[in-house]
Structures are given as C-alpha cells and as structure tokens.
Structure 1
C-alpha cells in the first residue's frame, strides 16, 4: 500500500438521525378557588426535583413562592424529596427528610410577622 493513499468510504444513502431537543416540563400545582368570585384561596404545591434543585427551576419557583406569600392566598408546600436543599425557612429544626409547610394568609411573612407552621416526618 502507498502510505500517501487514503481510503474514503462513501455512503450511498443518507442515514436517518434524531437530534436531541430540550424537553419542556410543565410544573403543575393545585389551587382552591372561592365559588362565585373564582378568587384563589389556597395554592397547593408539591415540590418536584426541578423546582427544588439549584438552578433556574428553583429560582423560578422561589419567585412564585414569594408572589403567593405576598398575596391573599394560603400556601401549602409539600416536600417529599430527600435530595437537594430544603426551601428556605427560619427557625425550623428539621429532623425528618420530608416537610409540609402551611402558610395562612393572615399569618404569612408579608402580613403579620411571618408565622407559618411546618411539619416534618
């Protein structure tokens, strides 16, 4: 063989491929509304890995959480995920891996000094 000679294989037909595309995940939550006015009374959030893990998802959820806490709605936040840092709370010594936070509008941080109850298990 000639060392300067290069062998090239030419494909006769194009090959079908799949390009990776980002997957958009819609975060779901439940809201309880007042009959007649349709006003949101309570927002129930079950944390997902996306909104608990550090990054854009968590920042987005923290902004949403602040909006709810600053509104006239109650917030029930359920964290059944062992991984990643829990959501920010002051004065909560968590013994368990899971937590449920119940923030009533009348007692939430932006209204009457920030009293909210948290359960851990």
Structure 2
C-alpha cells in the first residue's frame, strides 16, 4: 500500500522545507508548498498524457526578477530531479490540499490524491 500522498509530498519537498527558517509563517510554508504541488502535478500529468508540462512553468519563471528567478529555477530543478530519482513510479496527482496549524503549533499537510485517468 502506498504512503498517504501528504506524507509522500512532505518527503519530496523536504530539501526545500529544510531551507525555511523555523519561524517561517504559515503563508511562507504554503507558498513554498504551492510550488511543490505545481511541479509534482506537472510531472505526473506529463507522464499521464506523455507531454512536456514543465516548459510553460519555466517560461513563466523567466518573467520573475533575477534573484527570485534564480532561486525558483533552483527549486524547480531540485524538485524535478527528486521526482525522477525517488518518486518516478508515483503517478498520483494532488487535488485539493491544505496546510493546517494544529493546536500545539505544529503544521500538518492534508492532500487529496488523484489517480491517473483510465
């Protein structure tokens, strides 16, 4: 049985999440995870339909100011490589997702897995 998609995504995003300072806000974490979900889904859907889905994302990144563009490109490249190396066989897409703040102050991720179309 496959791990929960939320658990898989946190493992996938770990190198980027570890770069966030401990005091990063919920909004900062959500923004980073939005990038993670976008790249994950682009790679999964590309496998579903056998079509490049990343070129549009890279094209949109070119409109960012230089420091942001460089950082974003590094993040996306890292995520693409991690997906290929560690999660290539996971073809679940991410539907809705939510970052939740628990009463104890910890953050948890809830996400819907979407299976490939038949």
Larger % of helix: which? 2
**Relative contact order (C-alpha < 8 Å, sep 6+): which is higher?**
2
Larger % of strand: which? 1
Using the size of structure 1 for normalisation, the TM-score is: 0.26
Using the size of structure 2 for normalisation, the TM-score is: 0.26
Larger of the two Rg values belongs to structure: 1
